[in-house]
Amino acid sequence: MRLSAKLALSNLRRNKRTTIPFMLTSALCTLMLYLVISLENSPAVSESFGGAQMQMMLGFGELVIVLFTVIFLFYTNSFLMKQRKREFGLFNILGLAKKDIAMVLFVELLICWAASLVAGIGLGMILDKGMYLLIGRLMNIDLPLEIGISGAAVMQTVIYTGAIYVLLVVYGFFMVNVSSPIELLHAQAEGEREPKNRWLLALGGVISLGAGYGLALWVQNPMDAFVLFFLAVILVIVGTYLLFSAGSIALLNMLQKNRRFYYQTSHFISVSGMKYRMKANAASLANICILSTMVLVALSTTICLMMGMDQSVETAYPRETTLSIYSQDGNYLQDFDQALAQSGVQATDVMAYTLFDIPGTVSGDTVSNLGEYGKPDMRLFEFIPVGQYNNAEGTDYTLEPGQVLINPGSDSWGSSLTIGDRTWSVAGTVDGFPPSGLGINMMGNPMLVVLPDEADIAWLQTLVPEEQRNVTNIFAFNSPDPNRDAGILKDTFEQITGARPFGDTRQNFALSLQSMYGSFLFVGIFVSILFVMASVLIMYYKQISEGFEDQKRFDIMTRVGLDNRQIRKTIHFQVLAVFFLPLAMAGIHVAFAFPMISKMLALLGMGDITLFMITCLIVFAIFAILYVIVYGLTSRTYYQLVKGMSEETEE
């Protein structure tokens, strides 16, 4: 055991170029897992306003972190095992039995696990209070700072990470036991056959990626976007992997046939070198591309939600208080007036109107299937009499029988509107859009139709099933004490009619929205940090792998007369391809996903497409800057490996 410990420590020090990043990754995953579990189990978070939403999001974040840690530690450990197979084979030939090698491997992983626990949980205890402050800031609430250590978080973190390391040990034992000493000794030097063109897979990649893009562009209904989003994601992921593997090989073969391009020194070496290892390159490139896309989407959407929150609140609650109640015959507006007079509430800027909300299927300028959900091309329509619209928006529109005014939202509409056997001519469009009194409209991008009078709404109600003939009565106003006045008015209205309206104040709605959006942003930041770390580490390990494999090759090129300037050009070509192709593809993925994600954001009350576009561009620019920094660091490391000297010495 003592010899195993000495060998393990010696191995970790000797291979520090690869083991230190592995240990840092493990420690960071441990840190984030501890923080999320600690916050999830905190009574202060659960008992706060919106705490249930935050705990649900933290639970989701915990699941993502655990799955990510399993996958990524296996990925990095597999890389380390491949790099060290020759070392294990040499140990075996020198007299160490496989069980002794397995014991050394066990001690190494035990040291890595212990170090990651000490560093991760220790730093987590220090940062724990800062996370409380961050959550409180994002949710706009005051959280009491809890003094002490979360024993449950420590225990769960130890169990989760311990189980993962047990799997790593089992995998390592298996790899050592199934290989012979000669296989271990020569495993790192094993070459690959020249990859052939796989046109069928390349075509499948094009079809899969095109289908994913087409789905993202085709979907118009926000509810359909939410349902089909994951299908589009799967298609894009499959297409990305197929194109980077089969498509990249086809592209390299095409470049090889281009004599003007291929028979340049730097291109000749880079293209031929990448071609023989394209399977590994393709997997890494696709992983980086997918992870980068996830970072861009997660940060862009969550940041946009937070930045557009004030607009969402103002749209849903143009007055301090908004109350609503359904009715099937007539309306409650006069009852609201009576309740207001009896309650003594000092209301100003009163808005009172009725809306008939109903889904329908759109085909051209015709609407059918009123009241039927789940139909293709379904859209929500909100109908309001022109008189009530004028009262709500302070306008003075007039309509003749057979005319309507519309607000089509972010879409366009023709010159007429046909429902059933009636056709109205569109007299114009309106800018105002009275809120439905439901807070966030979960069907997104509704179309407002202003009708000549209430008789038209009564006729529309005859076209839908009786249980869906509900008109929403909305009563909105400002008052000195919104929370108190809303409660008084609800009680008075219930005494008069026997029915109690629902609704809330702008302040409470804003707090609820900030709690939800803050939860999204917090988990989005955590997940993005994980994905960025994964992308950087994949890049780093890939360049180290390439550097180790190319040392002898470039040494031979130097001996036959290739100068340092030509070597640098060759390196830059290969590193540029490895680094910036995934970034470019990630940008293309986000661009095609933009319409679908915009519609999904509408379900959460965020309808400002311009703001979302600006947010995406800013996030992409910042991420690209990070990419350039990592490129510079990785290019330097790769060059030092293949040349066997530092750049300073070479210069």
> Nearest 5°: CA angle at 534, between 84 and 622?
140
Q: What pLDDT is attached to residue 527? A: 83
Q: What is the pLDDT of residues 420-429, one digit of tens each?
A: 889 999 999 8
The torsion angle over the Cα atoms of residues 72, 78, 81 and 86, rounded to 10 degrees, is -140
Q: What is the pLDDT of residues 588-637, one digit of tens each?
A: 999 999 999 988 887 777 778 899 999 999 999 999 999 888 877 777 77
Q: What pLDDT is attached to residue 234? A: 92
- Buried b vs exposed e over 1-30: b needs ≥16 C-beta within 10 Å? eeebeebbeebbeebeebbebbbebbbbbb
pLDDT bin (cut points 50, 70, 90) of residue 301 is very high
Sign of CA dihedral 548, 549, 551, 554: negative
> Is it the case that residue 50 has pLDDT exceeding 80?
no
CA nearest to 224, candidates 361, 358, 375 = 375
626, 534 in Cβ contact below 8 A? no
Between 337 and 648, the more confident residue is 337
Q: How far apart are CA 73 and CA 25, in angstroms?
A: 8
Q: What is the pLDDT of residues 623-633, one digit of tens each?
A: 999 988 887 77
Q: What pLDDT is attached to residue 620? A: 96
264, 567 in Cβ contact below 8 A? no
Block residue for tokens 């965020």: 606
Q: What pLDDT is attached to residue 224? A: 76
> Is it the case that residue 136 has pLDDT exceeding 90?
no
Average pLDDT for 120-124: 91
Average the pLDDT over each of 180-194, 280-294, 540-554, 607-621 and give the range with the smallest value: 180-194
Whether pTM exceeds 0.85:
no
CA nearest to 354, candidates 474, 192, 185 = 474
Q: What pLDDT is attached to residue 186? A: 58
| Max avg pLDDT among 105-109, 249-253, 331-335, 563-567 | 105-109
Which tokens hold the place of 390? 């004028």
- Where do the structural domains in the chain lie, given as residue ranges? 1-190, 321-478
Return the number of other C-beta atoms located less than 10 Å from residue 433's C-beta: 18
Block residue for tokens 């250590």: 149
Q: What is the pLDDT of residues 69-81, one digit of tens each?
A: 888 888 888 877 7
> Is it the case that residue 645 has pLDDT exceeding 60?
no
CA nearest to 407, candidates 387, 441, 432 = 432
Q: What pLDDT is attached to residue 443? A: 55
Sign of CA dihedral 426, 432, 436, 439: positive
Q: What pLDDT is attached to residue 613? A: 94
Between 237 and 280, the more confident residue is 237
Q: How far is CA 407 from the centre of its chain?
A: 31
The torsion angle over the Cα atoms of residues 420, 422, 425 and 428, rounded to 10 degrees, is -60
pLDDT bin (cut points 50, 70, 90) of residue 557 is low
The torsion angle over the Cα atoms of residues 187, 190, 195 and 201, rounded to 10 degrees, is 0
Average pLDDT for 98-127: 89
* Rounded alpha-carbon distances, angstroms, from residue 521 to 45, 61, 298, 609, 624: 16, 11, 8, 19, 21
Q: What is the pLDDT of residues 19-43, one digit of tens each?
A: 888 898 899 889 989 988 888 887 7
Q: What pLDDT is attached to residue 487? A: 92
Phi then psi for 384, rounded to 5 degrees?
-145, 140
Between 424 and 517, the more confident residue is 424
Q: What pLDDT is attached to residue 512? A: 83
Q: How far apart are CA 415 and CA 425, in angstroms?
A: 6
Q: How far apart are CA 156 and CA 525, in angstroms?
A: 22
Q: How far apart are CA 270 and CA 276, in angstroms?
A: 10
Q: What pLDDT is attached to residue 494? A: 92
Between 154 and 270, the more confident residue is 154
* Percent of the chain with pLDDT strictly greater than 90: 24
Q: How far apart are CA 330 and CA 335, in angstroms?
A: 11
Q: What pLDDT is attached to residue 651? A: 42
Between 295 and 249, the more confident residue is 295
Which tokens hold the place of 503? 């609704």
Q: What is the pLDDT of residues 519-552, one digit of tens each?
A: 888 888 888 888 888 888 887 777 777 676 666 6
Q: How far apart are CA 566 and CA 518, in angstroms?
A: 51
Q: What pLDDT is attached to residue 615? A: 94
356, 383 in Cβ contact below 8 A? yes
CA nearest to 553, candidates 638, 472, 465, 435 = 638
DSSP three-state, residue 327: strand
Tell me whether strands 416-419 and 366-368 are parallel, antiparallel or unpaired.
parallel
Q: What is the pLDDT of residues 374-391, one digit of tens each?
A: 666 778 888 999 998 888
Q: What pLDDT is attached to residue 534? A: 82
Strand partners, 348: 478
Q: Give DSSP secondary structure letters for 236-258.
A: HHHHHHHIIIIIHHHHHHHHHH-
What is the average pLDDT value for the chain, to the nearest integer?
Answer: 81
Q: What pLDDT is attached to residue 592? A: 96
